[in-house]
Amino acid sequence: MGKWAKYARKHQKERENNEDFKDWLTSSSENKGDGTDMAYCKVCDCKLRPHLQDLKLHTIRNKHVENIKRMKLAAVTKPIDSHFKPGPSKPTGMELKVVELRLAAHVAVHSSLSTADHLASLLASTFPESKVASGVTLGRTKCTALVSKVLGPTFREMLLEDIGEQPYSLIVDESTDISCEKELGVVVRYFSKRANDFLTRFLGLISITDASATGMFNELKSFLESCNLDLKRCVGIGTDGASVMCGRNHSLYSLMRDENPKLILAKCTCHSLHLACSEATAALPANIEFLVRECYNWFSCSPKRREQYRRIYSAINDCDPLKLISIANTRWLSVAAAVNRIIDQWSELRLHFGLVQNTERCYTARLLHEMFEEEKNHLYLLFAQPIIMEFDKVKRLFQSENPDPVKLFEDLELLVKSMLLRVALKEHAFPTAEWEKHLLHVRACNFGTVFLDALHNSTLSEEEKDQMLVRCRGYLVSCVKSLLKRLPSNLELFENFKFLRPCYVRDASFSTFHKVISMVTAPCSTSILESEYVSLQAMHSSLALSDNVSEFWRAVAKATNSVGEALFPNLSAMVFALLCLPASNAAVERVFSLVTVTKTDHRNKLTVRNLEMILHVRCGLKEYFGCCNNFKPSERFLEKFNSAVMYEV
């Protein structure tokens, strides 16, 4: 036995609280459970004599120091699984419905319904970690049901709620789609209290088998009844000039007028301008239109010819030429842009056809070369260009979304008067006068400075110049005749819209004003209307006046008394009804353009019902959300998202 063996010591518990030992010191009996009472180092996993000196020596040993460092590092280092956020919980059924509705809206606007078969699986494989993407189940059948039974009908309901009991006007036209189905497009124009503006919106697409006046009337009447729109609240109907639409004796308009005697006919002015300009072209040589049409056709299907012309044009101008424009039969006055483009590139085109007439060995090339070499053809185009541009300018005003109706028909009158002043004596240049008996001499007519200067500098003989001037005057006379013949028969009605202007309201008598608004059904007695009109004249100066008629009357409708009641509810309602009248057929033509884009050669099996709902989705998203990116389905969309509604036969 050693000298100090008999002095055996036990582990002292209080030493575990010592600053030097507290992180690692414990009793071996507590840690190992072996019944001994020695000191124990937790980080080195070893027993120690419970002598204070031994414990101090252990703290400075290299092994112990390294183990202490590892222990402290492990204490501040988080477990590896703590660096990852817990995965998203399984999406709820409502969240998946919102996603699928948004995807269906995107498909309806930007692609065909069959792409839905691949869209859901593409999202799931692209975002495998997303619970939402993997939970989406959207095939073509389900996507079609969402569009035709949920999205489309809901947007249609929102439109009909916005119309409410307001007066409205219809714009209708008939067309045949790519699958040879006849359809009647219906667009509604009304005052929206929600938007505080006059809106022109797509209402529906009606499949018709009988394109007669009676057949279309019966289908349209049934359609309006399904929309809960009273035909007697219809203020006007906008159509093209077809006799089946607006004929005097038996037409869609005459049958509707039998049900609603105050129905106003608004013939499409854009159609009239286009037909008037086209009809007058017969006064010019036929080869002018041939040149414009065939010049485009020469390049339209040949990259080689376009490249040859591009090289010639670039060598002269150091830039590439603008593409020539075709004369489209379905686009009003498309000849205006086509003529401008040819005049701008006349010299280059003449050079091109001069070079290719021999290399192409084509009769059309030789013919076009001869036409470009003919000085008269260039002069005729220079003469016709400003005339066609005037027609096109007014046409663009009429086909705009929400023009001022008063200024619109003033612009039309200005076109007629300016055309008359070109060929008739000033004192007789009026549509009602016998202007044809007071035509100016050909040398005194206003044919345009550019044309007259070019004619003066030309190499034509005086006799040829006189013959050309006679034909040009004949063109102008024909333009005026066609315009006057095709102007709306109720043009005086629209001319009276000027009495709705603020300046006339301030000074005109009620009897004059009443003649204008009496064209629509009054919601109250004449005495109440007169009382409101007198009050309006009294407070005229306090209203925020605007030269725009619709803006002025919107301000009138907002005027209230001390308790917040509208001051002029009946007066403003009648004016709003008049301002609902359409200016042209452009809105329904845009609908048929959408039909052409949607129902293509590869999608020719689309039913009229599905096609109509797709158009409702497109127009509804644009009106309420701007784009499918901003679409957030509300509760009314989600309520219809169920099997009972979606797959109802």
For residues 549 and 571, give the distance between their C-alpha atoms in angstroms, rounded to a whole number: 14
- Phi then psi for 100, rounded to 5 degrees? -70, -35
SS3 for 482? helix
Number of helices (H), then strands (E), in the chain: 31, 8
pLDDT (0 to 100) of residue 1: 43
Fill in the DSSP letter of residue 497: G
Fill in the DSSP letter of residue 85: P
Q: And the tokens for 254?
A: 């005459």
Length of the chain measured in residues: 649
For residues 508 and 506, give the distance between their C-alpha atoms in angstroms, rounded to a whole number: 6
Tens digits of per-residue pLDDT, 270-325? 888 888 888 888 889 989 999 999 999 999 989 999 999 999 999 999 889 989 88
Fill in the DSSP letter of residue 148: I
Terminal CA-to-CA distance of the chain, rounded, Å? 104
User: Contact, 172 vs 178, CB < 8 A?
Assistant: no
Instruction: With a cut of 70, list the residues of the chain below it in pLDDT.
Output: 1-8, 30-36, 76-90, 329-332, 488-490, 540-545, 649
Enumerate domains of the chain plus CATH numbers. 5-81 (no CATH), 148-267+598-646 (3.30.420.40), 276-486 (no CATH), 498-579 (no CATH)
Question: Phi-psi region for residue 207, left (φ > 0), alpha (ψ -120 to 50) or beta?
Answer: beta
For residues 140 and 629, give the distance between their C-alpha atoms in angstroms, rounded to a whole number: 21
- The residue with tokens 């030429």 is 321
600 closest CA partner among 106, 105, 111, 204:
111
Fill in the DSSP letter of residue 435: G
User: What sign for the dihedral angle of Cα 240, 246, 247, 251?
Assistant: positive
Q: Whole-structure pTM over 0.85, yes or no?
A: no
The CA-based angle 333-337-343, given to 5 degrees, is 130
